[in-house]
Structure formats: structure tokens, C-alpha cells
Chains A and B, each alone.
Chain A
Amino acid sequence: DQQVKQNSPSLSVQEGRISILNCDYTNSMFDYFLWYKKYPAEGPTFLISISSIKDKNEDGRFTVFLNKSAKHLSLHIVPSQPGDSAVYFCAAQTTSGTYKYIFGTGTRLKVLA
């Protein structure tokens, strides 16, 4: 049972436009959501996070939106740059106090120059 889902395996966007990456979850008990970026042959790197009590968090070109009623979060990148081309993973932190994380399957973003 996939508790965190990224239904779009890939996305292509023109440079300068907005990239929107989506993530759905099934467990209402997740208390933190995170986005990671991964380049080939490297480990994932943390991008931005949001607490379950918030509905928006912004950091420069990156904004994460959380819709708890729909169990949906999205990452907006504006403006998109060629260097943003990578695989993006969303992750959810469990509330059990053991700090376990469930990851989605990833979305490959390609920003076209």
C-alpha cells in the first residue's frame, strides 16, 4: 500500500515558466511533509518542508502548498531553470515519535532551455 504517491513519473517545462509537482498521501497522521531533489549519481538533497498545521511555505523560487482535506501537496518552482532538472521526491514524516519517513516514487523534471 503506497501511502505517498507521485502519479506523474515525468514533467517537461520551458525555462522561465512554472513547474508544478504533485504528491498525494493517504495517512492523516503524517505531521511533516518534505521535498527532496536528486541529481544522477548523487544522494537526495533537502529542498523545502511544510508542517501539517500550515498550508503554504515559501523559500525563494520554491513554494509548497498543503491541502489537508484533499490529502494533497504540491511544489511550485517559479521561474524554472535548466539547473532544476532532476528527480523530485516528496516525503512524509510519521507522527509516532520514531521519525520514520515514507517517500513517493519521484517525478523527473526536465526544464527545457
Chain B
Amino acid sequence: DAGITQSPRHKVTETGTPVTLRCHQTENHRYMYWYRQDPGHGLRLIHYSYGVKDTDKGEVSDGYSVSRSKTEDFLLTLESATSSQTSVYFCAIRGLAGVHEQYFGPGTRLTVT
């Protein structure tokens, strides 16, 4: 257990509203990631962070922004939610130096109506 929590776990929102998802870790890992999982697409990287205030885009970053003001928290914001952003969102951390695997949170199911 890498001490990763995500909140909320489920959310239904309307098109055009802003939404923020939170990822919290308790083990001081440097690298944090946000993915979305959709049928037929597997896991796709949205944004990632390699330190406090250090973030970069992934392969599907349009419509999303992130912030990391503390080591333990990585926030994903949908500025104006669209139906195409209905998905399951997973946060992940990368282990310590020399450890290549990622550890994932339990996911957030987001529905945009």
C-alpha cells in the first residue's frame, strides 16, 4: 500500500462546470501522475509532476490543468467539463529511485451530463 487516496471517488457534474479531483499521498514520492481510463484506450497520461510546482503535459492534456503546491497533493482540474471527459481517473506515484513501477490510487469515476 503506497498510501494513495483520491477524492471524490464518484462525481456527477453538468457540462460547463469546473471540477477538481484530488490525489493525496503519504510517502513523500517525487513523481505523481494523472491518467484516464476509457474502453478501447487503456490508460492515457493526462499530466504528471516531477516535483513541487514542476508539471508537464501527457498525451491527452487538452481541457485539463494540474497543480502541485505540496509534495503530498496533486490536483487535476477540468476548467469546463465536457461529456468527452466522462471517464475513470487514476492517480499514480512512482516509487523511490531505482524502482520503476507505479502505484495507483483507487480511481475517481466522473460522469459529465
Contacts and interface: CB of A to CB of B under 8 A. Distances in A.
Most buried by B among A6, A49, A93, A105: A105
Nearest to A1: B59
Report whether over half of chain B's contact residues are helix, strand or loop; otherwise say mixed.
Answer: strand
B106 to A, nearest CB: 5
Q: On chain B, which size bracket covers the interface?
A: 20 to 34
A34 interface: yes
Contacts, number: 54
A99 B94 contact: yes
Contacts of A41: 107
Q: On chain A, which size bracket covers the interface?
A: 20 to 34
Contacts of A106: 42
Contacts of B100: 32, 34, 49, 93
B101 A103 contact: no
A100 B107 contact: no
Contact of A103 (B4, B44, B106): B44
A93 B101 CA distance: 9
A101 B45 contact: yes
Contact of A99 (B4, B40, B50): B50
Nearest to A32: B100
Contact of A42 (B50, B56, B106): B106
Nearest to B106: A43
Nearest to A50: B100
Interface in B38-82: 40-45, 48, 50, 56, 58-59
A45 B42 CA distance: 14
B50 A103 contact: no
Contacts of A69: none
Contacts of B50: 98-99
A106 to B, nearest CB: 5
23 contacts: A6-B42, A32-B100, A34-B101, A42-B106, A42-B107, A43-B4, A43-B90, A43-B92, A43-B105, A43-B107, A44-B104, A45-B104, A46-B103, A91-B102, A93-B100, A98-B50, A98-B56, A99-B48, A100-B45, A101-B102, A102-B45, A103-B44, A104-B42
